[in-house]
């Protein structure tokens, strides 16, 4: 029964080992059985925390434009170990993070262009901060995005 629950869950989406154990425990499975099932699934390669973490970063960072810090926090909440997380977020270097912050700031600037510049700056920087970007990067990206938007509107 526990094995079938685990396989059904894995059929819907990928899980880390700790997250799947928590899911099975919520469904009423016994700890001893959960451990046996998860060990077996790990042996046959159906659970792999490294692959899960890399896939998570590869899909969440470009899609949601999350910062490295936000990705680390998400993976920690899913029970992934710190060394596995470090390997997974290695691909999100400073250049990738800067480009992502600027892209997100540009998206936000399009919706805030009619606001007072100071208000727009605060809103954009706040949105970036909530995505885990540092204050310095959030403010500089917001400034650049608003400058670009103003420049493009002046040219029209």
**120/116 Cα distance (integer angstroms):** 6
pTM of the model: 0.83
43-83: pLDDT as tens digits? 999 999 999 999 999 999 888 889 999 999 999 999 999 99
> 115 CB contacts (<8 Å, ≥6 apart)?
123
For position 156, what pLDDT does the model report?
Answer: 58
Rounded percentage of the chain residues whose pLDDT exceeds 70: 99
**149/156 Cα distance (integer angstroms):** 11
DSSP codes joined into one string, 28-93: T--HHHHHHHHHHHHHTTS--HHHHHHHHHHHHHHHH---HHHHHHHHHHTT--HHHHHHHGGGS-
Q: What is the mean pLDDT of residues 6-16?
A: 94
Question: Does the pLDDT value for residue 155 go beyond 80?
Answer: no
**50/36 Cα distance (integer angstroms):** 20
For position 63, what pLDDT does the model report?
Answer: 85
Q: What is the mean pLDDT of residues 26-51?
A: 95
């Amino acid at each position: 029964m526990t094995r079938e629950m685990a396989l059904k869950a894995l059929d819907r989406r990928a899980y880390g080992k700790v997250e799947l154990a928590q899911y099975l425990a919520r469904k009423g499975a016994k700890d001893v059985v959960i451990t046996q099932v998860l060990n077996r699934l790990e042996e046959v390669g159906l659970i792999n925390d490294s692959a899960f973490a890399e896939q998570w970063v590869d899909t969440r960072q470009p899609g949601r434009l999350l910062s490295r810090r936000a990705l680390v926090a998400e993976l920690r909440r899913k029970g992934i170990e710190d060394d596995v997380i470090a390997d997974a977020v290695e691909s999100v270097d400073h250049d990738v993070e800067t480009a992502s912050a600027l892209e997100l700031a540009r998206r936000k600037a399009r919706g805030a262009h009619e606001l007072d510049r100071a208000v727009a700056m605060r809103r954009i920087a706040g949105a970036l901060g909530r995505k885990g970007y540092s204050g310095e990067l959030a403010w500089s990206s917001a400034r650049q995005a608003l400058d670009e938007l103003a420049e493009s509107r002046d040219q029209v």
